[in-house]
C-alpha cells in the first residue's frame, strides 16, 4: 500500500512539473507577438508585483493543505513567488477560491470585462481543452510584466489570473 501511495505521489509531481514547464514555454510564445498593454494598475488580491512580502497581511488569506512546489507562499486564494529581496515576482489568484482581480480599482470576474478594459492586444489560446479552459495573455513591454487570465470557454468566467515578470 505504501508503495502505491509513493508511486502515486511521484506521478503527480511529474505531471505538475510537466504542466509547469508547458505553461512557461507557452507563455513565452504567446507574449512574443503581441502589442504592449499597460498593466501597471492590475492587482490580484489587492497586491501588485514588486510588493515586499514584509508589508503583506497574510491573515487575510486562508491557509491551505495544497502543496504546489513552485510557489514560495501558498494560500487557498493566492500563490506568490518572491525574489531574493522578498519582493513579489509572480502572483497567481484563484478567482473561484475568493481572490479578487482588479484593474484601475474595478473588480473583474469575466474575460469580457477584462477585454473591455484592457483592449484586444492579447493572445487567446486553449489552456486545457478537456476542461473547456482557454487563456489570454497580455504583455506590458515597458515594465516587463505579463498577465495571463484562464477562463471557461462556455461561460467566460475567470478561473485564475497570473501576473508575473517576463
For residue 100, the surrounding DSSP H or E stretch is none
What is the domain partition of the chain in residue ranges?
Answer: 2-165
pLDDT for the residue 139: 96
Do residues 122 and 36 lie in contact, with contact meaning Cβ atoms separated by under 8 Å? no
Give me the torsion for CA of 25, 27, 29, 34, rounded to 10°: -170
Do residues 124 and 134 lie in contact, with contact meaning Cβ atoms separated by under 8 Å? yes
Residues 33-90 have pLDDT tens digits of 789 999 999 999 999 999 999 999 999 999 888 878 789 999 999 999 999 999 999 9
Residues 52-66 have pLDDT tens digits of 999 999 999 998 888
Kindly give the pairing relationship between strand 78-82 and strand 133-140: unpaired
pLDDT for the residue 31: 63
Q: Which residue, 73, 143, 56, 61, is CA-closest to 100?
A: 61
pLDDT for the residue 22: 38
Q: What is the mean pLDDT of the chain?
A: 84
Global pTM exceeds 0.75: yes
Amino acid at each position: 500500500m505504501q508503495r502505491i501511495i509513493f508511486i502515486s505521489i511521484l506521478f503527480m509531481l511529474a505531471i505538475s512539473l510537466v504542466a509547469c514547464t508547458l505553461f512557461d514555454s507557452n507563455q513565452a510564445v504567446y507574449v512574443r507577438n503581441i502589442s504592449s498593454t499597460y498593466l501597471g494598475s492590475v492587482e490580484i488580491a489587492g497586491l501588485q508585483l514588486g510588493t515586499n512580502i514584509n508589508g503583506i497581511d497574510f491573515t487575510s488569506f486562508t491557509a491551505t493543505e495544497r502543496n504546489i512546489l513552485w510557489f514560495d507562499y501558498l494560500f487557498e486564494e493566492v500563490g506568490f513567488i518572491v525574489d531574493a529581496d522578498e519582493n513579489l515576482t509572480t502572483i497567481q489568484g484563484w478567482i473561484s477560491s475568493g481572490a479578487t482581480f482588479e484593474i484601475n480599482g474595478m473588480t473583474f470576474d469575466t474575460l469580457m470585462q477584462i477585454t473591455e478594459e484592457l483592449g484586444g492586444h492579447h493572445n487567446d489560446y486553449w489552456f486545457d481543452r478537456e476542461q473547456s479552459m482557454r487563456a489570454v495573455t497580455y504583455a506590458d513591454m515597458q515594465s516587463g510584466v505579463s498577465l495571463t487570465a484562464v477562463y471557461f470557454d462556455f461561460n467566460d468566467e475567470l478561473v485564475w489570473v497570473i501576473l508575473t515578470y517576463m
